[in-house]
């Protein structure tokens, strides 16, 4: 046998839980064939203990356990390499190089309330509803204006805009939740229109008739608004 036919020798230092082993082995030896030899040096109790934790693994510090099917040369082990013999269930964790930008992106991606298109639509719908409600409260607040026409016009415009928004959300975008939220305010807006249009003095002698007429008009307008919103 010539020197070229002899496999290169790889000198290893293996650190086991209770002993450190220095040995030289051919670089073409598979890891699976090296493990039984190492366990004999560690002690017979190591072989029996392996049954309790799914066997043993060899690994370099900071690396994943070596594949048992690969050879020492295939694993990239150089002469003088240091390996750790560990229980399979207690293998050393791999080293992790944290990148600040990647870390921030990963953290944001895992957050529960990640900003997305649905959240943007929800914010837009909520803002629209709050704005319409605040505007109607302001217009119908006593002392702001006594003009029936202005109040009716404001409520009508609000109802029509909400109705258009609900239709767009339902048919063009397919967002039924936003459409429902917008449609819920259509009936109250039209009801306000029906309430103010009949006019009349609520404090006069005919207050009962005035209230009845306003309630009837408000109910009819609200029903019409609800039908349009559901259409």
pLDDT in tens, 54-102: 788 899 888 888 888 889 888 888 888 899 988 888 888 877 766 666 6
Q: Give the model confidence (pLDDT) of 195-208 as tens digits.
A: 888 877 777 777 78
Cα 59 from Cα 76, distance rounded (Å):
12
Q: What is the pTM of this model?
A: 0.44
Q: Give the model confidence (pLDDT) of 31-49 as tens digits.
A: 888 888 888 888 767 666 6
> Per-residue pLDDT for 226 more than 60?
yes
Phi, psi dihedral angles at 88 (to 5 degrees): -55, -40
**DSSP element (H, E) containing 133:** helix 117-139
Q: Are strands 9-15 and 20-26 parallel, antiparallel or unpaired?
A: antiparallel
User: Which part of the chain is CATH 3.10.20.90?
Assistant: 7-90
Predicted pLDDT of residue 82: 92
Q: Is 171 exposed, middle or buried (0-12, 13-18, 19+ CB in 10 A)?
A: exposed
Q: Binning pLDDT at 50, 70 and 90, where does residue 4 land?
A: very low
> Per-residue pLDDT for 172 more than 80?
no
Task: Say how many Å lie between the first and final Cα of the chain, rounded.
Answer: 93
CATH node for 7-90: 3.10.20.90
């Amino acid at each position: 046998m010539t020197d070229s036919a002899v496999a290169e020798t790889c000198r290893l230092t293996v650190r086991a839980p209770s002993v450190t082993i220095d040995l030289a082995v051919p670089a073409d030896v598979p890891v699976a064939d090296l493990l039984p030899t190492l366990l004999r040096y560690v002690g017979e109790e190591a072989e029996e203990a392996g049954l309790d934790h799914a066997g043993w693994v060899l690994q370099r510090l900071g690396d994943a356990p070596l594949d048992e099917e690969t050879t020492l040369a295939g694993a990239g082990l150089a002469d003088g390499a240091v390996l750790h013999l560990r229980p399979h269930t207690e293998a050393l964790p791999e080293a992790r190089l944290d990148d600040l930008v990647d870390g921030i992106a990963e953290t944001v991606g895992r957050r529960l309330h990640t900003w997305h298109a649905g959240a943007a639509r929800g914010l837009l719908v909520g803002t629209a509803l709050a704005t319409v409600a605040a505007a109607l409260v302001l217009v119908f607040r006593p002392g702001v204006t006594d003009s029936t026409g202005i109040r009716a016009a404001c409520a009508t415009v609000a109802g029509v805009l909400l109705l258009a928004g609900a239709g767009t959300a339902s048919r063009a975008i397919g967002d039924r939740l936003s459409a429902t939220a917008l449609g819920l305010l259509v009936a109250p807006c039209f009801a306000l229109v029906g309430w103010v249009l009949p006019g009349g003095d609520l404090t006069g002698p005919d207050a009962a008739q005035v209230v009845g007429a306003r309630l009837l008009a408000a109910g009819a307008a609200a029903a019409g608004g609800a039908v349009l919103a559901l259409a």
